[in-house]
A and B are shown apart, each in its own frame.
Chain A
Amino acid sequence: NAGVTQTPKFRILKIGQSMTLQCTQDMNHNYMYWYRQDPGMGLKLIYYSVGAGITDKGEVPNGYNVSRSTTEDFPLRLELAAPSQTSVYFCASSYSATGGNPYEQYFGPGTRLTVT
């Protein structure tokens, strides 16, 4: 299993540009999450999904959108990028009905985004 994968690893955006951060998991997890981590800080939840077709806002959703058309994929869309969105973005997934620790969230390697 590759686990949770994210692309790209790094990206520099200009103010006002848009982009999509990709996230894929191959563990057949029902739940997926997007977090951002600002320098020296903890992780803050942006959006999460409890299954295909279902998404909900987290703590800091403004400026972002998500979709969940399949179990495996959970892309995060940034529209009109702003310097305040400079951060490291982590995707995570959890909970498979077929076994394993149902509580554990598995994180992807992260995407480092700079908006200038």
Chain B
Amino acid sequence: GENVEQHPSTLSVQEGDSAVIKCTYSDSASNYFPWYKQELGKRPQLIIDIRSNVGEKKDQRIAVTLNKTAKHFSLHITETQPEDSAVYFCAASRSTASKLTFGTGTRLQVTL
């Protein structure tokens, strides 16, 4: 089955700096790669996703890049703010509405 590895497990940045979280996946048939943000005690919420027919997608301060050849994808957050502090999970799946395999999460802390 699919295996998703995520690094780093914790990340501390100063407000205004950029943060990068990286994931690798094992199943070459995976074609959908979402990123979820989970605040303490809350449910995961989708922040951005990318499909395998594009290499990069951006939404304001967040962007995701995908390298299908190397089987890795990354989340980039620019101009970080304290409210970006949360746990971020990457995931991968083979098709629309198919089961997701999650990474183990990255705890991002944005300090003032």
Binding site for B on A (CB under 8 A): 30-31, 33, 40-45, 48, 50, 58-59, 90, 94-95, 101-105, 107-110
CA distance A95 to B95 in the complex (A): 11
Q: Do the beta carbons of B43 and A105 come within 8 Å of each other?
A: no
Q: Which residues of B contact A (CB under 8 A)?
A: 1, 6, 32, 34, 42-46, 49, 51, 89, 96-97, 99-105
Q: How many residue pairs between the two chains, A and B, have CB atoms under 8 Å in the bound complex?
A: 53
Do B103 and A42 have beta carbons less than 8 Å apart?
A: yes
Residues in B with CB closer than 8 Å to A31 are 97
- Per DSSP, are chain A's interface residues mostly helix, strand or loop, or mixed? loop
The 5 closest A-B pairs by CB, nearest first: A95-B97, A42-B102, A107-B43, A31-B97, A42-B104
| Chain B residue contacts of A48, Cβ below 8 A | 99
- Establish whether residues A43 and B89, one from each chain, have CB atoms under 8 Å apart when the complex forms: yes
> Within 8 Å CB of B34, what residues of A?
103-105
Contact B49 A45 (CB under 8 A): no
A43 vs B104: C-alpha distance when bound (angstroms): 8
- Cα distance A96–B45 in the bound complex, in angstroms: 18
A101 to B32, CA, bound (A): 12
